[in-house]
Structure 1
Amino acid sequence: MERMTLSLPIDDEANALLNASPLALLIGMVLDQQIPLERAFAAPYDLAQRLGHEPDAYELASFDPDELTEIFGRKPALHRFPKAMAARVQEVCRVLVERYDGDAARLWSEAADGRELLKRVADLPGFGKQKSQIFVALLGKRYGVQPDGWREAAGGYGEADSHRSVADIVDGESLRRVREYKTAMKAQAKAAKG
Structure 2
Amino acid sequence: MNVTVRLAQQPEADALLGRSPLAALIGMLLDQQVPMEWAFSGPYTIAHRMGGDDLDAHAIAAHDPDAFVQLLSEKPAVHRYPGSMAKRVQQLCAYLVHEYDGDAEGVWRGVTSGKELLRRLQALPGYGKQKAQIFVALLGKQYGVTPDGWREAAGAYGEDGSRRSVADITGPDSLAEVRAYKQEAKQAAKAKPSGTAGTSGARGA
Q: Are 2:15 and 1:12 equivalent residues in the alignment? A: no
Q: Are 2:47 and 1:25 equivalent residues in the alignment? A: no
Match of 2:111?
111
Hey, which of these two has a bigger chunk of helix by percent?
A: 1
1:134–1:165 Cα contact (<8 Å) kept: yes
What is the number of equivalent residue pairs in this alignment?
Answer: 192
SS of residue matched to 1:45: helix
**TM superposition shift of 1:192:** 2.4
Match of 1:190?
190
What pairs up with 1:1-194 in 2 under 5 angstroms?
A: 5-8=4-7, 10-53=9-52, 54-192=54-192, 194=194
**TM superposition shift of 1:55:** 2.6
The alignment-based identity, stated in percent, is: 56
CA distance in 1, matches of 2:118, 2:21: 16
Unaligned runs of 5+ in 2: 195-205
CA distance in 1, matches of 2:127, 2:7: 22
Q: State the AA in 1 paired with 2:187.
A: A
When structure 1 is superposed on structure 2, of 142-151 and 181-190 the one drifting more is 181-190
Q: State the AA in 1 paired with 2:151.
A: R
CA distance in 1, matches of 2:156, 2:140: 13
**TM superposition shift of 1:193:** 5.2
Q: State the AA in 1 paired with 2:70.
A: E
**TM superposition shift of 1:164:** 0.4
Give the structure-2-normalised TM-score. Answer: 0.90
CA distance in 2, matches of 1:193, 1:48: 45
CA distance in 1, matches of 2:94, 2:66: 16
Q: State the AA in 1 paired with 2:130.
A: Q
Unaligned runs of 5+ in 1: none
CA distance in 1, matches of 2:68, 2:171: 33
Q: State the AA in 1 paired with 2:27.
A: G
CA deviation string 1:104-163 (max 9, x = no partner): 001011322100100111111111111110000000000010000000000000000000
CA distance in 2, matches of 1:166, 1:75: 25
Say if 1:193 and 1:101 are closer, same or farther in 2 by CA, change over 3 A: farther
1:7–1:171 Cα contact (<8 Å) kept: yes
SS of residue matched to 2:108: helix
1:4–1:141 Cα contact (<8 Å) kept: no
**TM superposition shift of 1:9:** 5.3
CA distance in 2, matches of 1:193, 1:32: 28
CA distance in 2, matches of 1:157, 1:5: 20
When structure 1 is superposed on structure 2, of 4-13 and 23-32 the one drifting more is 4-13
